Amino acid sequence: MEKWPIAKSTLAILEQCGEHSDEKIKLFCEDHSQLCCHICEALHHRSCSKVNLIEEINKYSTADAHQLSSNIQKIQDELKKLKEIAEGNLLSLETTYQRIKKEIDTVR
C-alpha cells in the first residue's frame, strides 16, 4: 500500500481485521471473495481451497498488464466488427423484406 499517499491512521484501519481488531488483513480467500487475517483463516477458511497472501496475488508485472490490455483491445475491436456485420445483415434483411413485401402486394 505504499503506492498511495494516505495517513498512517487510515492505513492501520484499512489493514485491520473487522473481526479480530489486533490482527492485520494478510490473506484473500478466493472461494468466498473475502479478505481475512490468519485467525479468520484458521477459524472460517480452513476447508477453502484458495486462500492466498495478498502480496502473492498482486505480483502481476507491467508486461502482463500491457499484454492483458492489448488482448482486451483486440477483443473489443473484434466485437465492433461483429456488431457492424450484424447491423449490416439486419439492414439487408429489412431491405429484402420490404422488396418481397412489395412484390407480394403487386401480385395481389
> Which residue would you say has higher pLDDT here, 77 or 10?
77
d(C-alpha 52, C-alpha 85), whole Å? 44
| The predicted structure's pLDDT at residue 1 | 42
Superfamily of domain 1-59: Classic Zinc Finger (3.30.160.60)
Q: What pLDDT, in 10s, does the model give residues 12-38? A: 777 888 889 889 989 989 899 888 999
| The predicted structure's pLDDT at residue 18 | 85
Rounded to two decimals, the pTM is 0.47
d(C-alpha 52, C-alpha 45), whole Å? 11
Q: What pLDDT, in 10s, does the model give residues 55-94? A: 877 666 566 777 878 888 899 999 999 999 999 999 999 9
